[in-house]
Amino acid sequence: MTRELVVPDDGERAAFAPIVALAFGTALEDIAPWFERAGFPNLRVLCEADRVLGGLLRVPMAQWFGGRSVATNGVAGVAVAAEERGAGVAGEMMRSFLRETRARGVPLSTLYPATVPLYRRAGYERAGARHRVSVLAERLVTQERGLSVTALLQEDAEVLALHAAFASRRDGYLDRGPYLWDRIFRPRKGQHHAYGVRGPQSLEGYVVYTNKQEHGHDTEIQVLDFVASTGRAVRRLLQLLSDHRSLANRVTWHGASPDVFTMALPDRRHELVAVDHWMLRIVDLPTALGERGFPRVPEGVLELEVDDEVLPENAGRWRVVVEGGRAKVARGGSGALRLDVRALAALYSGYLSVHALAQLDLVDGTANTLDAADRLFPPGNPCMGDMF
């Protein structure tokens, strides 16, 4: 019987809702609003005749690499009906989804895996972390009160520009689409608060957070978004959060490690944990390499031989010439660096050095070739604060 991954009609969407509710332990009545926020055209279900076997949510957005925004399709809400599990449904959905993503001209796909082997088999690889910082509110005191503080209502143009400038310098941070901005300024749970800190010229930083009663009168602050463009904005935002310390116990935020906020802490004591790792899929190799930024090396050439069973269009030899921070990619070359598309994802994001990947037998090449790859893909610290 033929199976197809499709945008669900009303009936199929209704059939998918309890599958998602069971998979994620969510109340059924919360699923329809979730689908609405994701946008009905972004839902996909795998159908066999009139049965819905499972589905997923597409999250259109982009991700920053080398200071440039590269389009990616996030994947969320992957769920298979309990009675259909263990028979390859999720694997089939992912392969169909990737073919569709490629046909749409989107060069990357990004997700947080609940189980790694499923996504590795589809060609994703671990490519970055999400760190959680947790610190007592009383340890955030910086005494900086030099900027004016004003309430923010939404992600207006000034907020978007400030976020883009901040995120663009951090490999792996999202260039958010509406779904992600919704999660910041219209969170599903809890009352959020948003404040900007403003200098004489412009907005220099902002914080969006919830403050929730936890034990007795004590509260916990969860930061949803934390952005600053100057040192005084970093210190002013820390002070703003510490001004809650009479009742607030802990303050938690997510992002890079180290980040500008932990660097500015006046006290050494804070907890820092890599709570999640996200995975990346190179969906369209020449576009993914052509759209990201590279180090401004005088000139770098890399000749790849790539394996990709799921998207064979990526497989084979590619010649990558990097000049002035941009790459030109064409078919051909000697194939001096041999790797599969998963290793390329870890290299692309800067998660692992080419030498570390060679130690894992995930890439193969001469010492000179590995050194050349290292100059173009220096290991970094790819991170993302967002969860989707």
Does 115 bind ligand COA (CB under 6 A)? Our answer is yes
- Work out which of 7, 118, 315, 356 binds ligand COA, going by CB under 6 A: 118
> Could you tell me whether strands 248-255 and 68-80 are parallel, antiparallel, or unpaired per DSSP bridges?
unpaired
For residue 263, the Cα-to-chain-centroid distance in whole angstroms is 22
DSSP letter (8 states) at residue 41 = G
CB of 315 to ligand COA, least distance (A): 22
Between 118 and 329, name the residue whose CB sits nearer to ligand COA.
118
For residue 340, the Cα-to-chain-centroid distance in whole angstroms is 22
* Among 44-52, 113-121, 147-155, 175-183, the segment contacting ligand COA (CB under 6 A): 113-121
Between 86 and 216, name the residue whose CB sits nearer to ligand COA.
86
- Work out which of 38, 45, 62, 90 binds ligand COA, going by CB under 6 A: 90
Between 83 and 299, name the residue whose CB sits nearer to ligand COA.
83
Does 298 bind ligand COA (CB under 6 A)? Our answer is no
DSSP string for residues in 205-220:
EEEEEEEEEEETTEEE
CB of 52 to ligand COA, least distance (A): 13
Give 280's contacts (C-beta < 8 A, 6+ positions apart).
72, 108, 109, 110, 124, 125, 127, 128, 345, 346, 348, 349
> Could you tell me whether strands 68-80 and 316-323 are parallel, antiparallel, or unpaired per DSSP bridges?
unpaired
- Work out which of 11, 67, 88, 105 binds ligand COA, going by CB under 6 A: 88
- Site residue total, ligand COA (CB under 6 A): 16
> Could you tell me whether strands 316-323 and 326-331 are parallel, antiparallel, or unpaired per DSSP bridges?
antiparallel
CB of 86 to ligand COA, least distance (A): 5
* DSSP 3-state of 155: coil
- Work out which of 25, 41, 117, 298 binds ligand COA, going by CB under 6 A: 117
Residue located via tokens 């000139």: 299
Residue in 61, 4, 92 with CA at minimum distance from that of residue 176? 61
- Work out which of 39, 60, 91, 199 binds ligand COA, going by CB under 6 A: 91
Site of interaction with ligand COA (CB under 6 A): 23, 78-80, 85-91, 113-115, 117-118
